[in-house]
Structure 1
């Protein structure tokens, strides 16, 4: 799924009305109540709290947020493949993406569908920890084609699996091969080499790193990768979960490093969208751009082969450069599905090579998570992206998926934008973030 185009759309996706502004209350509390949120039954699932009849039923229900025409069609074809393979009919309950996310809390507490689309990472772990998701560890025992990193991203705090990955898009440093070949640029392997390359690009009249944070979320990717490179995956995940202090020296080092890189970034970024920044790369005015694979949307068809990327370079040799952001979309199972046996059959199919093959055949721009899929139709860029994620030791889900939605929107968006505007008072900024974190993460 591509990123939202505007900050308003981003916030609508990120923080439902029932969560926005609630500082000390659990995400599960809701503000309007089940009746108000689900008034018209927009996200009323077909499931129930009973597992009776699961073994004999010939139906299973799916709650889907894939409401745009293309992904909706792909979902339908995947479910048709499952029905052919199993003889079990899938009742698909499709709801537009924003509404699905806005009502997810109440949906899972009510009568959700047997299986539903969702995200890996903190958003998965949150509902699993609250007892609102089904354990699919037994399903994982039957799956193949997934790296340890994908399994880790599907695992709850209790060590059990609650998620089956379907697709993903990695973040990396993108560039135009023709520009680099003309200038003789080499891929940097360390932070020092990145700084030296950026200085050379400046001398050559380029913006070293394209950058646009008008919509609030792109800067999260920069923070993520610096924290992963400087402090490692586990510290990053613990920080996102509210378990580490933002005032620690470790976090301060991230912002100090970022402050040193800011002069290499395209100026006036708070007034520029990610699309406009991507267009500066497309127009050969910028040398690099840290973004997701969807950056290619801003390139013409005849320019796609000129787009390449490298993973953000190593900063600490002890940490390495194998962790990355690669948001993963996939499926979860209800806590007590109406058709328990069929729900597990569906989850197993969704994690299979067959399901991935259906997805690739009908949506060749998608990167599927199962490495056993037939990806002969992938472009060179897609193949390289798949190899990058396959070789990753850890996969983070992006800041807004690895932490509470209210913290990401009400604290981190303005904080990162304030840092970009004035990077001098890092200590004061981190104190402010930490104080707000304590308030939000205290139910």
Structure 2
């Protein structure tokens, strides 16, 4: 059985190593992930050298031993789903799992010092650049031998997102989820609202909601990261995916006119966005939508749908639409659809047993087990059959599958130091979206980017 307990991960943020050559190839890796369940299946073609695995291959030698698992799955719904997964992993591998759960934001803020100190054997983390960053720092162990057994279970996009810049695999993916605009079907039906597909329709609907006494768009940014998603989607809708990735790698300056256009559109939307966002956590914004005090909310299914489950709100009433078209050149071709998974600490004390756990997790049955409880994410394994998928999950698979490319979210696509800088800059923008302040904030962002990307 899995023992779910709580322990600290350290209080220091640790040094932020230089990005240096880590940028090479990252944009291509992130761009490959254009599906989830359906996405990765749609573009899947197994390596002939990869072998399918129904579970751990080292069961005989590791049975009865214990591994520790550092987890950022701190929200109640996600914590329950993760406990079900680790319990199933123990049943399959005979390896006991002790889960050390830490608040999501605390885990992320202290991840460097955690990995440099006395980390757990395994830890929850993110695909793409955020994985590559710590792999390049020598803080994680390669998982090529694990991928020899599980590789046939995933398509090339999932494998690429799990691959470091040295060509070795460092992550076993579990799921991804889209960032979309949520609403309550009953509220739209009662008020005769129509789902917008263009920017003008979106703003017009927001104005109508405000006239009707609703908060048009529920919004919170006390945690800092939620607003990064709004920047991402506006950037991809206005400037396209390639521009977004180049900006994240500082191949385009933050003073560029395209960035100004993003902030200008956002400023147009702010009067219809829930006020006081910098003092509100996203869970409270979601509750506003649940209570039908707000008409819409742009965030991930991993948050909004999960919060409905936690609050025992009417999940069947929840629906979403992809963010409307702003620039017809790009339409609705792109979105943020972050991929989450698991890594092996360089300082792991029980490597063989930890790999046995990962070999189980990297299978369709493991994903299906996790998703029995998870009613908001979608799995990544080829041909995954999940009878428990609800309407939100089925729609997520379909909408992610329509994308020409997906991003991994600003705090995963950019240097961590730059993402942290943008959290502060965007919060200042939310407080003052004037044209003069936008120009000043762009200059600040560029100054910090030059220091971060050239150090």
Residue by residue over 1:107-161, the C-alpha shift from the partner in whole angstroms, topping out at 9 and shown as x without a partner, is 6567876654322132101023334444446755653564665444334345654
Shift of 1:172: 0.8
Q: Does 1:168 align with 2:176?
A: yes
Q: Does residue 215 of structure 2 align to residue 215 of structure 1?
A: no
2:304 matched residue in structure 1: 295
Aligned to 2:277: 269
Kept after mapping to 2: 8 A contact 1:77/1:358: no
Residues 388 and 91 of structure 1: is their aligned pair in 2 closer, same or farther, counting only changes over 3 Å? same
> Does 2:213 match 1:205?
yes
Q: Which of residues 126, 131, 135 in structure 2 aligns to 1:124? A: 131
**Do the aligned partners of 1:213 and 1:273 also contact (CA within 8 Å) in 2?**
yes
More deviation in 245-254 or 152-161? 152-161
Shift of 1:310: 0.6
Distance in 2 between residues matched to 1:186 and 1:371, nearest whole Å: 35
Residue by residue over 1:289-314, the C-alpha shift from the partner in whole angstroms, topping out at 9 and shown as x without a partner, is: 10122223257646221110011122
Q: 1:318 to 1:295 in 2, by over 3 A?
A: same
With over 3 angstroms needed to count, the CA separation of the structure-2 counterparts of 1:212 and 1:104, relative to structure 1, is: closer
The CA distance in 2 between the partners of 1:103 and 1:265, in whole Å, is: 31
Relative distance call for 1:104 and 1:201 in structure 2 (3 A) is closer
1:82 to 92, 108, 126: 92
RMSD: 3.7
What are the superposed Cα offsets for residues 39-67 of structure 1, whole Å, 9 maximum, x if unpaired?
A: xxxxxxxxxxxxxxx99954687542237
3-state SS of 2:203 partner: helix
Q: Which structure 2 residue ranges, 5 or more long, are not aligned?
A: 1-7, 20-57
1:331 to 305, 329, 342: 342
Q: Which sits farther off after the overlay, 180-189 or 385-394?
A: 385-394
Q: Provide TM-score, normalisation by structure 1.
A: 0.75
How far apart in 2 are the matches of 1:100 and 1:302?
28
The superposition leaves residues 152-200 of structure 1 with CA deviations (integer Å, 9 ceiling, x where unpaired) of 4334345654322113332210011112112322222222222232233
Counterpart of 1:44? none
Check whether the contact 1:324–1:396 (CA below 8 A) recurs between aligned residues: yes
**Structure 2 residue 104 is the aligned partner of structure 1 residue 95:** no
1:310 aligns with 321
Question: What is the CA-CA distance between 1:237 and the residue it aligns to?
Answer: 3.2
Does the 8 Å contact 1:216/1:413 carry over to 2?
yes
Worse overlay, 313-322 or 66-75 = 66-75
Give the drift of 1:433: 1.1
Tell me the equivalent position of 2:240: 232
Aligned length: 397
User: Counterpart of 1:289 in 2: which secondary structure?
Assistant: strand
1:165–1:438 Cα change, 3 Å: same
Whole-angstrom CA distance in 2 between matches of 1:148 and 1:188? 34
Alignment partner, residue 18 of structure 1: 13
Query: Compared with structure 1, are the counterparts of its residues 156 and 241 closer, same or farther at alpha carbon in structure 2 (3 Å cutoff)?
Result: farther
Contact 1:55–1:341 (CA<8 Å) still a contact in 2?
Answer: no
2:391 maps to 380
The alignment partner of 1:386 has SS state of helix
8 Å CA contact 2:118–2:347 kept in 1: the answer is no
- Which whole-Å CA distance do the structure 2 matches of 1:284 and 1:104 have between them? 37
The aligned residue for residue 421 of structure 1 is 431
- Counterpart in 2 of 1:30? none
**Change over 3 Å in CA distance of 1:364–1:273 after alignment to 2:** closer
- The Cα of 1:319 is off from its aligned counterpart by 2.6
Alpha-carbon distance in 2 for matches of 1:63, 1:119: 18
Query: Is contact 1:220-1:398 (8 Å) kept?
Result: yes
Distance of 2:223 and 2:111 partners within structure 1: 24
**Residue aligning to 2:46:** none
2-side partners of 1:321 and 1:149: how far apart? 20
Gapped runs of 5+ residues in structure 1?
1-11, 28-53, 84-88
Counterpart Cα distance in 2 of 1:432 and 1:223: 16
**Is the CA contact (8 Å cut-off) linking 1:275 and 1:298 kept in structure 2?**
no
Which residue pairs with 1:436 in the alignment?
448
Which segment is superposed worse, 302-311 or 190-199? 190-199
CA distance in 2 between partners of 1:165 and 1:133 (Å): 15
In the superposition, relative to structure 1, how do residues 368 and 215 fare at CA in structure 2: closer, same or farther (>3 Å)? same
